[in-house]
Amino acid sequence: MDWSKSGIHHEWQYQLVDSATLTERGWLTNVTDAKLTEAYRGDLRSQLDIGLDGESVPLGCAVRVWHEATYGGETVRECLGTFHAEPTGGKYELGRMTSSATLYSSLVKLRDTRGKQVRSVGKSNIINHFNEICGWALAVPWVTPGWNTSKTFAAAYVWQMPSESILAEAQRCADAIGGYLGVDETGRVTLTPYVNPSNMSEAWALLPGEITHLGVDVDVPDIVNRVVAKYERDGKTYTSVADLDAQHPWSRANIGRVVAEELTGVTVEDGANIQKTLDDATKKERDAKARATRTFSVETCYSDAVRCGTAGRLVYADSPDDEGIDARVFCSGREVVLDHTADMSLTLEELL
């Protein structure tokens, strides 16, 4: 569907599902307004705010949001997510009750569940541990097929359950295996391979005729002209140093001194060339530090392709004489008004 066309009919439907099993339980038909907010790096990833004519979401239920768009005989239907309710109460005005609710992704169940004692976690299987702790929070886990299912934690540690939620422990699992902790549209808590946004393929493009407003925020980083990384394996230490070219205004030749940054946390896959992996990582970090980065605030028409956590291209110019913008970008935030306009606001980070 060409989402830039005017006259697209948007319909939003709100399905009730069991909060524990995610099975269908009916429909919520008294929603008067709603807004979806997504943040790729947010603790809970997504949030739904709704207003209702009458009572709020029934106890023990979550809300699954469906979107149906129709234009010229073509219909697109998609699920935007499943959200767990935290009702904010109701009020009566002129004998009529209205209410509202703020709902969050299934990660809220992990955030709000804590143990009562300290637990020692040995060199246990990471995926088995992840599945187990999600079950404690009555959340449904889903792990992408293809992982090394035998991988264990590198060392035993103590989980401070009273102060550290299951969400924090699930994130520890994701970090230990090189994954991204998220949710899918059905409400399952997901563990998927982490992909650096710079390595993502472009899934969409926003063109000048589709953009109603654009704002630019420029971030100039602290000067760094050398990046250093070290890696140890089998008693041998590998070192990589990446300097800025002498022509760069921040180079040692131009500012008269070395300003170094140590790059930590480089992951070397089994069988990979350690030195090449280190060199690639330091050069990439050096290049990222070598220029100002831009973050774009964009208002545009709805598109099912522009999802939070995906990469695309932003093309924009005020006039034919304007040099304009043509940049690879990553969508780190999205807000959608769930009404007939389907207005969408995006936070797009420039990819270097």
Query: CATH number, domain at 148?
Result: 3.55.50.10
How far is the C-alpha of 131 from the C-alpha of 3, rounded, in Å? 39
Q: Which residues contact 159 (CB under 8 A, 6 or more apart)?
A: 115, 118, 119, 120, 121, 169
| In a domain? residue 90 | yes
How far is the C-alpha of 294 from the C-alpha of 323, rounded, in Å? 16
Sites in the chain below the pLDDT cut of 50? 94
Q: For position 328, which CATH number holds?
A: 2.30.300.10
| In a domain? residue 1 | no
Question: Domain limits at 83?
Answer: 9-105
16 with 98, same domain: the answer is: yes
Contact 311/330 with Cβ under 8 angstroms?
yes
> Which of 289, 309, 324 delimits the end of a domain?
289
Number of domains in the chain: 4
67 with 120, same domain: the answer is: no
pLDDT of residue 93: 57
93 with 138, same domain: the answer is: no
> Which of 252, 271, 289 delimits the end of a domain?
289
Q: For position 87, which CATH number holds?
A: 2.40.10
92 with 20, same domain: the answer is: yes
How far is the C-alpha of 48 from the C-alpha of 87, rounded, in Å? 12
- Residue whose entry in the numeric block shows the structure tokens 């307004």: 33
13 with 86, same domain: the answer is: yes
| In a domain? residue 31 | yes
pLDDT of residue 319: 57
| In a domain? residue 3 | no
> Which of 74, 105, 136 delimits the end of a domain?
105
- Residue whose entry in the numeric block shows the structure tokens 């599945």: 131
285 with 326, same domain: the answer is: no
208 with 303, same domain: the answer is: yes
Q: What is the pLDDT of residues 265-296, one digit of tens each?
A: 888 876 778 999 999 899 988 887 877 678 99
32 with 101, same domain: the answer is: yes
172 with 244, same domain: the answer is: no
| In a domain? residue 4 | no
Beta bridge partners of 152: 125
pTM of this prediction? 0.80
185 with 201, same domain: the answer is: no
For 131, the token pair is: 């599945």
28 with 96, same domain: the answer is: yes
How far is the C-alpha of 280 from the C-alpha of 179, rounded, in Å? 21
98 with 186, same domain: the answer is: no
| In a domain? residue 37 | yes
